[in-house]
């Protein structure tokens, strides 16, 4: 990490000094292409193995997508095999493939093992450990319900998180900036903040007009606490020297808040946003399970009620994709807003 | 530096303001104890005069500059700019602090643009920002972030950030302290030329006696904390000056003696 950041810094500087051309001449990677596609070839073999494992033995259960799964595995294997030697010509995609070849290999092996251990020989007890084709079956046959659930969850989470983040940010800036606001809000924050947002569930569900507004409130609450505390500590820890500089240059209080305090506090704010995201996911799922009757949490609950374990796993996978997608998005936003931090701190 | 000729047109001369420091005393409370820092300091600086302040480390020079800038009110006494009491910071009095304190999230250009932006006149002054950056020789680094600069470069950015505001009183707190001796000599000549051209009043704190006598019309020497004025010495030599000027060398010895350093000579 530190090496690559040093490199990018050097590159930036060189560019500003109009010396970019010298750095741009990078070494040719051609002779390495054959050697580099080794892991990809093994990955391809592993996926062929997965496909074969689907076809070689009879399924122990009644699953309808085994053949499709095998075909998909062969397609992936062929794709890897074709792409690997041409990685250089495929640009970014090729580079990504080369980088991820060991992972593709591991995944191929894992799927093979999973297939054999569940669908073929039931080394793992069957209803609780569904095979890959059972999960695929959920995605193909129960798609509408799953999509509706995803959409409900995303809507609820997005609304609650946005409200919580905005409220937390504003509160944090106000108590960090103004002593009198801090005097009143700080004790309240201290008293209420550490309470897990889920503890409010019963209260929220009978005071709010709808379960949707109650859940939005809870998610916002779970987000707001860490965002408030970290924004506040960020604003409070801004060096006085920055304010002095700005004041001697004619800055009014609004400029000090918007152009000095907030940018300086932004790294802290993002820590708060990350923490808020984590705790709001937890609240989302619980709220959906208990009150909302829609969304992925509810889908999980429903699947468990019907002992539809494949549906449960399918929903879990979607959920983890959504959560990690949200985190990635937040990381990308931070990287864009805080370019100046690169080289100041190690990420 | 090459940029000088351009800068001459870009940074129009502003008349300097006079500064009066009248019986100023100041102190800090540290853990309940009172630490006196300035003790009944009085002096006047005429418009467009260049005054250097010398004194032992920790005697209260930076504190005095903060009072002149209006960042703090003095515990006793009064400071006046052109006869009007100084009640708070104002961009006619700009400080180059001992630390460059560039805002790390802003590029060089946006750091220099801070003053015009804060005063809401950046739109009309963009070319002046460019000119000020050229003046300190950092035009190739206008898009660099502070952490990508050397200490000396950062100090030059801080200087540009001050100059772009066309100050009437320029307050310099060891602005060249972090520069290597070569850049330092160039920058001293640069400051002298700039001061003569623009006519702002200059207050310079430095530890370098040679720098003080080379640049200033007057050198004020402070005692140990709490700072009192120990001597007020006129440097009556025409500009441009030469470092080897025997009169300047003589003054330098006299001042070193006042600072208690004659044993080294
Ligand atoms: N904000 C503050 N709170 C308490 N004491 C302070 C504060 N600022 C400065 N002091 C004290 O005032 C004294 C004078 O500090 P000042 O920074 O003015 O010294 P200085 O003459 O500029 O020294 P140097 O040449 O080393 O920069 C020091 O003893 C310092 O400890
Ligand atoms: Mg100082």
| B118 in contact with chain A, both atoms CB, cutoff 8 A | yes
CB atoms within 10 A of CB B199: 15
DSSP A116: I
| A266 in contact with chain B, both atoms CB, cutoff 8 A | yes
Tokens of B7: 């800068």
* Window 133-172 of B, Cβ < 8 Å to A: 140-145, 147-148, 161, 165
Tokens of B37: 């820092």
CA distances from A169 to A255, A276, A294, B48 (A): 17, 11, 29, 47
Query: Which of B25, B57, B60 best tests ligand 1's pocket when mutated (most atoms within 8 Å of CB)?
Result: B60
pTM of the predicted model, to two decimals?
Answer: 0.81
A50, A115 contact by CB (below 8 A): yes
Spatial CA neighbour of B129 closest among B256, B234, B265, B11:
B11
What is the model's pLDDT at position A71?
A: 92
Q: Which among B71, B99, B147 is the nearest to A248, CB-wise?
A: B71
What number of CA atoms fall less than 13 Å from residue A290's CA on the CB side?
A: 18
Residue numbers in A near B106 (CB within 8 A) = 263, 340
| B115 in contact with chain A, both atoms CB, cutoff 8 A | yes
Look at residue B202 and tell me whether its pLDDT is greater than 90: yes
What is the model's pLDDT at position A34?
A: 57
What is the model's pLDDT at position A346?
A: 56
Look at residue B113 and tell me whether its pLDDT is greater than 80: yes
Provide the 3-class DSSP secondary structure of residue B130: helix
- Does the beta carbon of B61 lie inside 6 Å of ligand 1? yes
Dihedral, CA of residue B199, residue B203, residue B208 and residue B213, to nearest 10: 50
pLDDT tens-digit profile of B153-195?
898 899 999 999 989 999 999 988 777 888 888 888 888 888 8
Low-confidence ranges of chain A (pLDDT < 50): 1-31
Q: CATH 1.10.3720.10 region(s) of chain A?
A: 142-341
Q: How many residues does chain A have?
A: 347
How far is the C-alpha of A194 from the C-alpha of B175, rounded, in Å?
Answer: 48
Note whether A249 contacts B144, CB cutoff 8 Å.
no
DSSP lists the bridge partners of residue B231 as B221
CATH superfamily of A142-341: MetI-like (1.10.3720.10)
Map out the domains of chain B with their CATH numbers. 13-92+168-260 (3.40.50.300), 100-166 (no CATH)
Transcribe A141-170 into DSSP letters. Answer: HSHHHHHHHHHHHHHHHHHHHHHHHHHHHH
Residue numbers in A near B117 (CB within 8 A) = 255, 259
What is the model's pLDDT at position B2?
A: 39
Of all residues in chain B, the percent with pLDDT exceeding 70 is 93
What is the model's pLDDT at position B42?
A: 92
């Amino acid at each position: 990490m530190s090496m690559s950041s040093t490199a990018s810094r050097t590159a930036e500087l060189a560019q500003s000094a109009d010396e970019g051309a010298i750095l741009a001449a990078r070494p040719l990677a051609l002779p390495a292409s054959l050697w580099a596609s080794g892991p990809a070839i093994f990955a391809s073999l592993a996926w062929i193995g997965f496909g074969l494992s689907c076809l070689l033995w009879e399924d122990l259960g009644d699953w309808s997508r085994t053949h499709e799964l095998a075909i998909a595995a062969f397609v992936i294997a062929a794709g890897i095999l074709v792409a690997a030697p041409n990685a250089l010509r495929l640009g970014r995609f090729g580079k990504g493939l080369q980088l991820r070849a060991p992972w593709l290999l591991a995944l191929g092996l894992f799927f093979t093992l999973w297939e054999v251990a569940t669908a073929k020989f039931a080394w793992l007890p069957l209803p609780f450990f569904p095979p890959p084709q059972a999960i695929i079956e959920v995605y193909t046959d129960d798609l509408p319900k799953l999509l509706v659930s995803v959409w409900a969850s995303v809507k609820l989470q997005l609304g609650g998180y946005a409200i919580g983040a905005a409220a937390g940010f504003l509160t944090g800036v106000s108590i960090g900036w103004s002593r009198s606001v801090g005097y009143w809000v700080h004790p309240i924050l201290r008293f209420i903040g550490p309470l897990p947002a889920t503890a409010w569930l019963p209260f929220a569900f009978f005071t709010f007009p709808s379960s949707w507004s109650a859940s939005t409130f809870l998610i916002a609450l779970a987000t707001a606490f860490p965002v408030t505390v970290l924004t506040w500590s960020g604003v409070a820890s801004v060096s006085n020297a920055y304010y002095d500089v700005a004041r001697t240059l004619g800055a009014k209080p609004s400029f000090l808040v918007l152009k000095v305090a907030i940018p300086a506090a932004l790294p802290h704010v993002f820590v708060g946003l990350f923490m808020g995201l984590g705790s709001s996911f937890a609240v989302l799922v619980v709220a959906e399970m208990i009150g909302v009757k829609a969304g992925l949490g509810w889908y999980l609950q429903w699947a468990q009620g019907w002992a539809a374990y494949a549906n449960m796993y399918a929903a879990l996978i979607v959920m983890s994709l959504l959560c990690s997608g949200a985190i990635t998005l937040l990381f990308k936003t931070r990287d864009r807003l805080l370019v100046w931090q690169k080289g100041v701190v190690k990420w | 530096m090459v940029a000088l000729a351009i800068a001459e047109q870009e940074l129009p001369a502003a008349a300097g303001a006079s500064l009066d420091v009248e019986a100023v005393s100041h102190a800090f409370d540290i853990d309940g104890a009172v630490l006196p820092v300035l003790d009944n300091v009085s002096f006047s600086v005429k418009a467009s005069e260049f005054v250097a302040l010398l004194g032992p480390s920790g005697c209260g020079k930076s504190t005095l500059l903060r009072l002149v800038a209006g960042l703090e009110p003095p515990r006793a006494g009064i400071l006046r700019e052109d006869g009007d009491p100084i009640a708070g910071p104002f961009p006619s009095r700009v400080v180059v602090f001992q630390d460059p304190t560039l805002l790390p999230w802003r590029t060089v250009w946006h750091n220099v643009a801070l003053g015009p932006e804060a005063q809401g006149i950046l739109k009309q002054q963009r070319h002046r920002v460019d000119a000020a950056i050229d003046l300190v020789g950092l035009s190739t680094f206008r898009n660099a972030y502070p952490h990508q600069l050397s200490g000396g470069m950062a100090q030059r950015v801080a200087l540009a950030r001050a100059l772009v505001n066309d100050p009437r009183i320029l307050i310099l707190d060891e602005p060249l302290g972090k520069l290597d001796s070569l850049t330092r000599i160039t920058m001293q000549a640069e400051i002298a030329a700039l001061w003569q051209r623009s006519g702002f009043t200059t207050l310079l704190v430095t530890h370098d006696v040679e720098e003080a006598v080379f640049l200033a019309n007057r050198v004020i020497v402070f005692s140990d904390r709490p700072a009192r004025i120990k001597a007020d010495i006129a440097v009556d030599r025409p500009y441009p000056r030469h470092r080897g000027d025997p009169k300047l060398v003589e003054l330098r010895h006299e001042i070193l003696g006042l600072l208690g350093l004659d044993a080294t000579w």
